[in-house]
Structure 1
Amino acid sequence: MPDITKDQVLERLRAVAGPDGTGDIVSLGLVSDIVIAGNKVMFSVTVPAERASALEPLRVAAERAVRDLPGVEGAMVVLTAEKKGAAGAPSGAQRPAASSAAQHAPPRQQPGQAQGRGKAGIPGVGSIIAVASGKGGVGKSTTAVNLALGLKENGLRVGILDADIYGPSLPRLLNLRDAKPEVVSGRTLRPLDAYGAKVMSIGFLVEEDTPMIWR
């Protein structure tokens, strides 16, 4: 079976009309972050944040177009409001105008770029997705696990860090309640494996039913 190429993906996406029915999402410079992992394809489509829900049919159309490409067994398309370098767009392509807030926003820090005197990104880690909330019991751990395993199913290498000190639930969600990480050289904890993903949780270090005072 011939390998799937980025040019083939872009050619299929030229058949998907832009947000307002004019042009196509490739010529308009809306397609970015194309990743091909075996027979699965992932990419982003840039849309105005306030129109993301209304443009869900565009996302579905883009996903269907790529799924119909010979050799493709799975496709994952994400709508994003973050403008990135577009794939396959001519230099003078028409692009959606940025909002006033976006035009005056400070430059976005790039992955791995040091901020002030802070440390650089983690070696070997391309992207970090934080799942957080100001309220407990809203499904942060469930969301994180489903997101991580979904990315793993699409051919990416994934690790999950459960840093919740109040109610770490990753061991329960991944059926690792009795598992303990291996200590390497007396100072490093080796992550556990669950469903093909690397996993580390505060819950591996403390007993689930034992009170703990953190300081």
Structure 2
Amino acid sequence: MILIPALALAFGGGGGILFVRSTQTNRLPNTAQRTPVQTGPITLHIVDETGNPVTGASVTLWRNEKYDVIHGPARVTMPVGTTNESGDLVLPPQGITNFQVTSLDGHHLYAIGEITVSQGEQVITLSEHPVHTITGQFVDEQGKPLTDVQPELYVGSQSFSKLTPGPDGHFIGWVVPGTAYYLVFHRTGPGNPIEMKRDLRVEKGQFLDLGTITVRSGTTRGQ
């Protein structure tokens, strides 16, 4: 049985730094000591698998904070912007070296990795299904994509990460291989039932695509 605290989930939006705690994230890479110190501006050049630049890709930096024996490490994420018409995003010097890139607006492309240059340009290639991810698309009872869904991944009773559907209802979550997750979600607004997908697990080197997920509204409760 999973215990979800505060089932009326409140999900944050917009920019800023978000702290998320997890019970089993000690296997996530923390590569800050192995990557070069940024000495100047870095241009992330985002392309698809054919080498074409991807416009409007969303870039987020992340790192794991000091490990806590009770709650695990706190994962710090910092949205930094979107790529321009040339597929570029310039990062000023900063201390976070892990990145994740998402392009959900008609592309459904993703990447996760680390910054490996101290300055200059780094090319990042997006793919449809990067490893160690859970993806899917939220739709209503008529099959129309939904953006008003609040999804969150849990490990046991602890929140692992809050997800944000794209303009066409697609979402992605990076996970730890071999760990069982619960996906908890509901439509915004009062009276909407909270739903759950249990025991979601991604093996090392694999991904999990949940396909389309039909989300109920409050008017269909009990049907």
Q: Shorter-chain TM-score category?
A: under 0.3
Give the TM-score normalised by structure 2: 0.26
Which structure carries more relative contact order (alpha carbon 8 Å, separation 6+)? Answer: 2
Give the TM-score normalised by structure 1: 0.26
- Write 1 or 2 for the structure with the bigger share of helix: 1
- Write 1 or 2 for the structure with the bigger share of strand: 2
